[in-house]
Amino acid sequence: MVNKSPGRPRGSSTARARLLEAAQRHVLRGDLAAVSSRRLAAEVGVSHTLVNYHFGSRDDLVAAAIALRAAPHDVIALARGRDGHGPVDLSRLAHGILAVWEHPEHGVQLVGLARRLAVADASAASISGYIHVAVFEPLVADFGREHARRMAMAIVGFLFGRYVLELPMFTALSREEAGGLLLSMIR
């Protein structure tokens, strides 16, 4: 049953944190893609309407849980179908990438990481290797080498333009517009 009362849904003030903790547990188990917002809410003893109230949607809760980890392989895994298997859903991928890069803590860390990669410091080779195995190869498996290569170029170019170089043509876009642009680039 949906909460039809006006105003703030019933639930303790810790409901947001508990929902996020439950989602994070599922991220660690690798099964968050298969868990509904009703199930998450039931696990923490709150109304499922609090998922939308605090996060906007189940996908935004998923994005927030991913952002806590900020691991590229988690973004790829959670962009797969509801059961965590199957091909990557490109819309989920584009919006998941944005959620991680726009997270207040992780975004700053990722910009620093991207800048280190750009100047090829000592950690660049290991980071590059991880990205190749954890991000590029799964995309190759789903879309083929050439499409995955185009996707990687689009993603890297977009991320550098919006977050590292802060080019106005990218930073002027709202998050929704940016997600739509990135999605159109990786299709």
Residue 69 has pLDDT above 80, yes or no: no
**CA count, 13 A, side-chain hemisphere, 98:** 22
Q: Which residue do the tokens 């797969």 mark?
A: 80
Mean pLDDT estimate for the chain: 83
Residue 175 has pLDDT above 70, yes or no: yes
In this predicted structure, what is the pLDDT of residue 1?
A: 43
Q: Taking residues 162-174, report their average pLDDT.
A: 96
In this predicted structure, what is the pLDDT of residue 83?
A: 63
Residue 80 has pLDDT above 70, yes or no: yes
In this predicted structure, what is the pLDDT of residue 72?
A: 79
In this predicted structure, what is the pLDDT of residue 105?
A: 74
Residue 4 has pLDDT above 60, yes or no: no
Alpha carbons 74 and 32: distance in angstroms, whole number: 10
Q: What is the DSSP letter of 110?
A: H
Alpha helices for the chain (secondary structure H) = 15-29, 37-44, 49-55, 58-69, 72-78, 90-101, 106-119, 124-131, 137-143, 145-159, 168-171, 175-186
Q: Taking residues 61-88, report their average pLDDT.
A: 73
In this predicted structure, what is the pLDDT of residue 150?
A: 96
Q: Taking residues 29-48, report their average pLDDT.
A: 84
Q: Taking residues 97-115, report their average pLDDT.
A: 84
